[in-house]
Amino acid sequence: MKNQYRSSDARQCIDAHPHCHPDLALRVYTSRLIGQETSLVLHGGGNTSVKATGTTLLGDPMELLFIKGSGWDLATIEAQGFPALDLAYLRRLRVLSGLSDEEMVNQFKTHMLDSSAPGPSIETLVHAFLPPRFIDHTHADAIVTLTNMADPEPRLRDILGDKVAILPWIMPGFPLAKALAECYETHPGIEAIVLRNHGIFTFAEDAETAYGRMIHYVTLAEEYLQSRQPVSSVLPSVGTDGRLDGAMVLPLLRGALTIDPAASGGIPPFLLHLRDSEGIRQCLNRDDAKDLFSTGVLTPDHVIRTKNYPLWLDLQGCDEVQAAQTIGTEMAAYEQRYRHYFQTQVSAKQLTRICLDPKPRVILIPGLGIVTAGVTEKAAIIAADIAEHTLLAKVLGAAVAPYQELGQEHIFDMEYWSLEQVKLKKGKALPLSGRSALVTGGGGAIACGIGRKLLAAGARVFLSDIDSERLQRVCELLGQEFDPALISGITMDVTDAASVCRGLETIVLACGGLDILVPNAGLAHVATLEELDEVAFRRVLEVNLVGAFQVIKAAIPIFKRQARSGHIPAQIIINSSKNVFAPGAAFGAYSASKAGAHQLGKIAALELAAIGARVNMINADGIFDDHGISSGLWDVVGPERMRSRNLDPAGLKEYYRNRNLLKTEVLADHVGNAVVFFASGLTPTTGATLPVDGGVAEAFPR
């Protein structure tokens, strides 16, 4: 590992933080250096601190501890990410014989200088009790790998030297803080402390030295591990690399991972993430892969993200039916083992706890890769990052000594620790959390409104369109309001079966499946029947009717795979038209094609009810644009309608507003609200038609 400290960069960081203590600015700088090394910390892991002096509101001098705040990532942390606490008071807590976790957190909150600052790290007392001014703590892969071996102390001393003390695993909190302080005092002159199965603390009186010691000791561990690898390859593999069909496997797996909402208290479905690099595939092809990788986490800090054990699935050579059976059998066995672990621990510890869901978060599939599950895509990616690091660390460690995991009694303490569980309970799940959606015709105004409302409801959204430029504009517009990582544009021709299948495969490989399908692509053409050109007529039918047919047909196998052993009710919401019930003259191609798609939806409702899928239609009217995104329909129809009524664009909008019973403007967001209503499954409804038109009497559903 390379030391990235640069004096010029450190000075720039101080200059960029003129309103805070220079030592805090340096703390920000070296914390970012640590956070950028994923082999040191992952996704908010690790913590850093600095001790400094300040003054109270009355001007009295005060010793302060600035420590990383909960929820901040070291890679991007700012000065406000380090809440300040009364250091002198915190140090006095050491005299206590015991301190509950809840009271410890209360003491943090009541001795912060700024009540609006983020909550301090749960390891605040460790940093307070240790005397050095700068303290760095990481879960370095190389260090933790070496501690997950039988009797690791002699090896660690040989590798790291006599200026490093070693402690056994101790649960974070008050006991760990006291143990580290006593260790520091009984080992004068040490530069670091290694905590088995947890990580390493380095410290010094200045930022550069503390950071440099972290890099130095982790590098010694990395170099040792590398020196013990086989000369030919760090990642030896055997057998054939027979690739599995991810588009077939992932929906089956996603269905099996889904917990019945009726029995789970409403736990959302999981989105999946596939990690399939060459290195990962080589790892999973090792002849000892199952035994090596089915072991526990590198550090208990990971357990709330990944659970202790992954699920190993060997599906090579299976057809779809066999794969579904294997997944069901192995999933049931995994859940049974988890419940047994839970019952064993609560009985042994004489505790009352509510069992967390027993589903795995990490699934290892030879021939496919690492598959991880999360209610959000971010959660699945975090689990994948941890799983990938764990895989590679276990390979490196296997060349040194057998892997020895931490006892389940310690894992349970961490997994069911209230201070860890709170990390997972921030915010209420949105109605469409864990669900993926595809909206076709994604470059238009209505798709923009639908996408906005789906994103606001928590869905992972894919928009497709044949026009890549219009599609990109919509994605960029939505990306200004929502996380761009939750929005994907797919260039797709709904009239081409092969293009549709490729698009849906892209979605499945990206998140594991599809839950919400909104056939929205549409094409308009103005001509009387006498003047209507056959080619134009067929083109409108191809997009509006055949396009809806193609995407529904291609989605059905995905829905069926998810439904084999799962509880994900698929939702198809067809964006139909007021013209289905109230067609207009010179608009025959559009009206007929939309009526056909509408009827297709009713047939789909009849045929797909057996797998729990619901199919409903929305009849919208008079939607012109959305936040600068024009409607493709009105781009075609608008000029003729304005000429026939002698209106300008504003006048045309006013005409349609006054035409409906409620005298209201109908917006793309209103269609989006209707889509979210159906997609949320709030009512047991299928085959229904919901007008979104302000009330057009002749278009009332009959």
Q: What's the total number of domains in the chain?
A: 3
pLDDT at 421: 66
Give yes or no: residues 289 and 402 share one domain. yes
Q: What are 31-69's pLDDT values in tens digits?
A: 999 999 999 998 878 999 999 999 888 889 999 999 999
CB neighbour class for 234 (10 Å; exposed up to 12, middle 13-18, buried from 19): middle
Residue 653 confidence (pLDDT) = 83
User: Which among 119, 197, 199 is positioned nearest to 164, based on CA atoms?
Assistant: 199
CATH, residue 333: 3.40.225
The two structure tokens encoding residue 318: 């299976």
Q: What is the CATH number of the domain that holds 580?
A: 3.40.50.720
| pLDDT of 241 | 53
Q: Determine the pLDDT at residue 233.
A: 47
Q: How far, in Å, CA of 588 to CA of 594, rounded?
A: 10
Whether residues 199 and 329 share a domain: the answer is no
- The DSSP result for 210-260, as a single string, is HHHHHHHHHHHHHHHHHHTS-SS-SS---S--PPP-HHHHHHHHHHHHPPP
Asked, for residue 338, whether it belongs to a domain, the answer is yes
Cβ atoms of 511 and 558 closer than 8 Å: no
| Same domain for 149 and 192 | yes
Q: Is residue 658 part of a domain?
A: no
Q: Are residues 159 and 52 in the same domain?
A: yes
* Amino acid type, 253: L
Q: Is residue 236 situated within a structural domain?
A: no
Question: CA-CA distance, 63 to 465, in Å (whole number)?
Answer: 60
151 and 281 share one domain:
no
CA-angle at 428, arms to 423 and 432, nearest 5°: 120
Least confident of 315-329, 480-494, 639-653: 639-653
In a domain, 305, yes or no: yes
Of the candidates 169, 196, 227, which is a domain's last residue?
227
pLDDT at 582 over 80: yes
Q: Is 104 domain-assigned? A: yes
Question: How do residues 374-392 score in pLDDT, each as one tens digit?
Answer: 999 999 999 999 999 999 9
Query: Do residue 180 and residue 255 come from a single domain?
Result: no
Task: Report the pLDDT value the prediction gives residue 240, as an integer from 0 to 100.
Answer: 46
Q: Is residue 240 part of a domain?
A: no
Domain closes at, from 167, 194, 227 = 227
Band of the pLDDT at 264, cuts 50, 70, 90? Answer: low
For residue 649, is it within any domain?
no
Is residue 642 a part of any domain in this protein? Answer: no
Distances (CA, A) of 418 to 153, 241, 440, 622: 31, 43, 44, 52
Instruction: List Cα–Cα distances, 517 to 372, 450, 617, in angstroms.
Output: 23, 11, 12
DSSP assignments along 419-485, one per residue:
HHHHHH-SSPPPTTTT-EEEESSTTSHHHHHHHHHHHHTT-EEEEEES-HHHHHHHHHHHHTTS-GG
Query: In this structure, are 399 and 465 located in the same domain?
Result: no
What's the pLDDT tens digit per position in 392-415?
999 999 999 999 999 999 999 999
Of the chain, the percentage scoring pLDDT greater than 70 comes to 96
404 Cβ contact partners less than 8 Å away, ≥ 6 residues apart: 148, 149, 150
Average pLDDT over the chain, rounded to whole?
A: 93
Residues 375 and 457 in one domain: no
Q: Is the predicted pLDDT of residue 604 greater than 90, yes or no?
A: yes
For residues 611 and 242, the model is more confident at 611
Residue 327 scores a pLDDT above 70: yes
Pairing relationship of beta strands 192-195 and 199-204 according to DSSP bridges: antiparallel
Q: Are residues 14 and 88 in the same domain?
A: yes
Same structural domain, 579 and 522: yes
> Are 193 and 270 in a shared domain?
no
Please say if the pLDDT value at position 237 is more than 90: no
Q: Residue 449 pLDDT more than 60?
A: yes
Can you give the residue range of the structural domain that contains 205?
A: 7-227
Residue 579 and residue 477 share a domain: yes
Q: What is the pLDDT of residue 263?
A: 61
Could you read off the pLDDT of 508-542 as tens digits, one per residue? 999 999 999 999 999 999 999 999 999 999 999 99
Rg (CA), the chain: 30
Ranking 170-184, 247-261, 274-288 by mean pLDDT, the lowest is 247-261
**CATH code of 181's domain:** 3.40.225.10
Tokens (6 digits) for 227? 């020196």
Among 227, 259, 275, the domain-final residue is: 227
Query: Helix 246-257 to helix 547-563 angle, to the nearest 10 degrees?
Result: 60
